[in-house]
Structure 1
Amino acid sequence: MSRFWSQVVRDLTPYVPGEQPKIANLIKLNTNENPYPPSPRVLAAIQAELGDDAARLRLYPDPNADLLKQAVARRHGATPDQVFVGNGSDEVLAHVFQALLKHDAPILFPDITYSFYPVYCGLYGVDYATVPLADDFTINPADYTGRANGGIIFPNPNAPTGRVLALDAIADIARANPDSVVVVDEAYIDFGGTTAIPLTRRFDNVLVIHTLSKSRSLAGLRVGYAIGHPDLIEALERVKNSFNSYPLDRLAIAGAVAAIEDDAWFADCCRKVIATRDTLTTDLSKLGFDVLPSAANFIFARHAQHDAAELAKALRDRSIIVRHFKLPRIDQFLRITVGTDDECRALAEALRQILG
C-alpha cells in the first residue's frame, strides 16, 4: 500500500479474473471461452479493414461505431438509438453502474452472481444489498418486489450457477419496479435461454447487455453492447464520452459486424456447445456429481464425497483447469466450461481416475 493511493483504491477489493496460465497441452475449462473459432468472416473483415499497408490505423475509429450499432439493431429488431456499444460487456456494465444505478437507495443483485458487481459498487460508491437465491439456486422474482429503488441487476443465465430465469419472470420484476432500472446481463443467453430484449420495447426501465465473447467466440476482441430505451442509452453515451470517446478500435468494429451478420456460423457453434454440455452433464452425473441445470456454456457441479478444491487441484495436476470459488454456499462446486467433445471426454476420464 502506497501513501499515494487514494482512499477509493485503498478500499477496493478488485475483481479476480479467470486464470490464463502458460501450461503446455492445457485443457482450459475455467473462463467460459468458446471452444470454437469465430466466423471466418471476422478475419476477412479485419484484413479488409487493414488494407494493404494498415495505413488506416493512423486514423481514429468512428467514436459512435455506427456500423456496429446498425448491425446490432438489425439483429435484434431495434433502432440504433436503442444500442450502446463498449469495450467488452464489462465496460458496458461499468458505465451502467455509474450512469444508471448510482441512486440514493441500494441496488439489488443475487447473493450468488457475477463477482464484478460488488467491485463496481465499491469503485463508484454505489450502495447495494444482496438477495439470496433459493435453495435450488434459482432467482425468485417476488424477492425483488417493492424493494428496489436504486436498481436491479442480475445475469440471465446466472453466473456461476447457469440457471435461467423465464421471460415472464423478468417482466414481473420490471413491472413491479417501474421506477428502478432492471439490468439483465445476458452474457450466456444464446446457449439456452430467451433474451429479454423484446421487453425493452414494453418497459422503459429494462436494459439488456450482451457480449461477443461467448457465443460469438470473440473474447479476444473485446466487444459488448446494451439495448434499451433511448433515454437509458443516452445516459450511457454521456458517461462514455466523458471517459473514453473511442472505446472500440477499427478492427474490433469490423470484426464484430462480421460476427453478428454470420447467423449460420453462430447457430452452429451454439448447437455444438449445447450438445456437448448435455453429454458432459450426463457423464458427470454418472460419476456421482450433482449438476445444476444449465442454460449457459458451462456447468456447475459438486460431488457429495469429494472436496471441490481437492478435485480442482487433482485436475490441474493433469493439466486440466476449472474454476473453483471459495465463497459461501458454493465452495463445494466447480464451474466447468464446456469445451470441445474431446476436451470434455478427457475431463470425464480424468475425474474417473481421480474418483477411483
Structure 2
Amino acid sequence: MSRFWSPVVQSLTPYVAGEQPVIDGLVKLNTNENPYGPSPRALAAISEAVNDTLRLYPEPTGLKLREAIAASHDLDPGEVFVGNGSDEVLAHTFQALLKHELPLLFPDITYSFYPTYCGLYGIDFREVLLDEKMQVRIEDYRQPCGAIILPNPNAPTGSALPLAAIEALLQEHPDQVVVIDEAYVDFGGESAIPLVQKYPNLLVVQTFSKSRGLAGLRVGFAVGQRPLIDALERVKDSFNSYPLDRLTQAGAVAAWEDQDWFRKHCDLIVASRERLIAALRELGFEVLPSSANFVFAEHGERGAVELAAELRKRAILVRHFRGERTENFLRITIGTDAECNKLLDALKQILA
C-alpha cells in the first residue's frame, strides 16, 4: 500500500488470473483455453495484415467484425459491440449498465471477476446462492434488484440454463438490465441471442477465447438492442477509442467466418468432455453436469488442494478455487484426448 494510491485502489481485491507458467511438457488444463488453436484462415488473415498499414490506427468500431457477427444472427451491426476480450466488454457493461440504487444480482459461485468489477466501480451487489446441486434457480432472482448478470453456462460449475429459463427471467425483470455471459455457450448451451430483438433489457456477451481458440488475440463482443450498445460505446469512447488492433480485427473476422473449423473442434471438445467425465467417475469423482469446455469435480476421499499439488508435480495444471463451497472441487479444462489421458494416468497413480 502506498500513500500515492487513490482510495479505490486501497480497497480493491484484484481478480487472480489462471497460472501461465513455462514448464517443459506441460499439460495445461487450468485456464479453459482451446487445445486445438485457431482456424488456419485466422492465422493467414493475421499474416496478411502485417504490412505498412500498421502505421495507421485501426477502424475504431470493429465494423467488419460487427457486420460479420450481425449477419450471422440477422441483426444490425449497430446492435453489436466489440472489445478487447470479453473481460473488457464486461468491464464497460458493469460501468455503463449495472450500477443502480438497488444491488446487482449474480450467483455466489460464478466468474470471480464480477465482485472485482463491483469493487472497482462502486457497485452494490448481492450474491444469490446456487442450490445444493450447484445449479442456478431462476426463482431465487425474484427479488428487488438494479440489474442481473448470469454466466450461462455458469463458471466454474459448467451448468447451463435452458433458453426458456432465461426468457422467464427477462419477463420477470422488464425494468432491469439482464446480462447473459456466454463465454462457454458453444460447448452445449443455448444462446440467448435469438431473444435480443424481443427484449430491450437483454445484453448477451460472448468471447473468441474459448470456442474459436483466440485467447491470445483478445476479442469479445456484446449483442443487444441499440440503446444498450450505445451505452457501451459511450463508455468505450471515453476510455479507449481503438480497443481492437488491425491484426486482431483481421483474425477475428476470418475465425468467425470459418464455421466448419469452429464446429468441428467444438464437437471434438464435447466428445472428449463426455469421455473424461465417465473416466473421472470411475476413479471415484463426483462430476457436475457440464455444458462448457471444462468439468467441475470433487473426489470423496482426497482433497482438491492435495490433488492439484500432486498433478502439478507431474507437470499437469488444473484450477482450484478456495471457498467454503468450492474447496473440494477441481476445475479441469478439456484438453486433447492425449492430454486427458495423461491427466487420468496421473490421477490413477496419485489415488493409488
TM-score, structure 2 as length reference: 0.99
Q: Does 1:285 align with 2:285?
A: no
Alignment of 1:179-258 (within 5 A): 179-258=175-254
| Equivalent residue number for residue 136 of structure 1 | 133
Give the secondary-structure state (helix, strand or coil) at the position aligned to 1:153.
strand
**Per-residue CA shift, 1:216-235, capped at 9, x if unaligned?**
00000000000001000000
- The CA deviation at 1:73 is 0.5
Unaligned runs of 5+ in 2: none
Q: Does 1:6 align with 2:2?
A: no
Give the secondary-structure state (helix, strand or coil) at the position aligned to 2:338.
helix
Alignment of 1:20-99 (within 5 A): 20-50=20-50, 54-99=51-96
Whole-Å separation in 1 of the counterparts to 2:43 and 2:330: 34
Q: Does 1:123 align with 2:133?
A: no
Match among 97, 101, 104 for residue 98 of structure 2: 101
**Per-residue CA shift, 1:112-161, capped at 9, x if unaligned?**
0000000000000000000000100111111112422x100011000000
Match among 299, 302, 306 for residue 302 of structure 2: 306
8 Å Cα contact 1:189/1:296 also seen in 2: yes
Match among 264, 270, 291 for residue 274 of structure 1: 270
8 Å Cα contact 1:146/1:176 also seen in 2: no
| Equivalent residue number for residue 17 of structure 1 | 17
One-letter amino acid matched to 2:165: A
**Per-residue CA shift, 1:186-226, capped at 9, x if unaligned?**
00000001100011111100100000000000000000000
- The CA deviation at 1:79 is 1.1
Whole-Å separation in 2 of the counterparts to 1:326 and 1:137: 16
Whole-Å separation in 1 of the counterparts to 2:25 and 2:319: 18
Alignment of 1:344-355 (within 5 A): 344-355=340-351
Unaligned runs of 5+ in 1: none
Whole-Å separation in 2 of the counterparts to 1:131 and 1:209: 21
Q: Does 1:165 align with 2:195?
A: no
Q: CA RMSD in A?
A: 0.6
- The CA deviation at 1:64 is 1.1
Give the secondary-structure state (helix, strand or coil) at the position aligned to 2:9.
helix
8 Å Cα contact 2:96/2:231 also seen in 1: yes
- The CA deviation at 1:76 is 2.0
Whole-Å separation in 2 of the counterparts to 1:79 and 1:247: 21
Whole-Å separation in 2 of the counterparts to 1:231 and 1:215: 28
Whole-Å separation in 1 of the counterparts to 2:87 and 2:43: 24
One-letter amino acid matched to 1:103: H
Whole-Å separation in 1 of the counterparts to 2:25 and 2:345: 16
Whole-Å separation in 1 of the counterparts to 2:213 and 2:141: 33
Whole-Å separation in 2 of the counterparts to 1:147 and 1:106: 8
8 Å Cα contact 2:39/2:261 also seen in 1: yes
8 Å Cα contact 2:102/2:144 also seen in 1: no
Whole-Å separation in 1 of the counterparts to 2:303 and 2:74: 47
**Per-residue CA shift, 1:312-338, capped at 9, x if unaligned?**
000001100100011120110000000
- The CA deviation at 1:43 is 1.2
Give the secondary-structure state (helix, strand or coil) at the position aligned to 2:196.
helix
* Runs of 4+ in structure 1 over 2 Å off: none
8 Å Cα contact 2:280/2:287 also seen in 1: yes
Give the secondary-structure state (helix, strand or coil) at the position aligned to 2:127.
strand
Aligned length: 352
Whole-Å separation in 2 of the counterparts to 1:25 and 1:321: 11
Give the secondary-structure state (helix, strand or coil) at the position aligned to 1:293.
coil
| Equivalent residue number for residue 151 of structure 2 | 155
Whole-Å separation in 2 of the counterparts to 1:94 and 1:231: 17
8 Å Cα contact 1:146/1:177 also seen in 2: no
Identical-residue share of aligned pairs (%): 61
TM-score, structure 1 as length reference: 0.98
- The CA deviation at 1:37 is 1.7
Give the secondary-structure state (helix, strand or coil) at the position aligned to 2:49.
helix
Whole-Å separation in 2 of the counterparts to 1:44 and 1:79: 28
**Per-residue CA shift, 1:144-182, capped at 9, x if unaligned?**
12422x100011000000000110001111100011000
| Equivalent residue number for residue 317 of structure 1 | 313
8 Å Cα contact 1:14/1:119 also seen in 2: yes
Whole-Å separation in 2 of the counterparts to 1:83 and 1:180: 20
Whole-Å separation in 2 of the counterparts to 1:76 and 1:121: 31
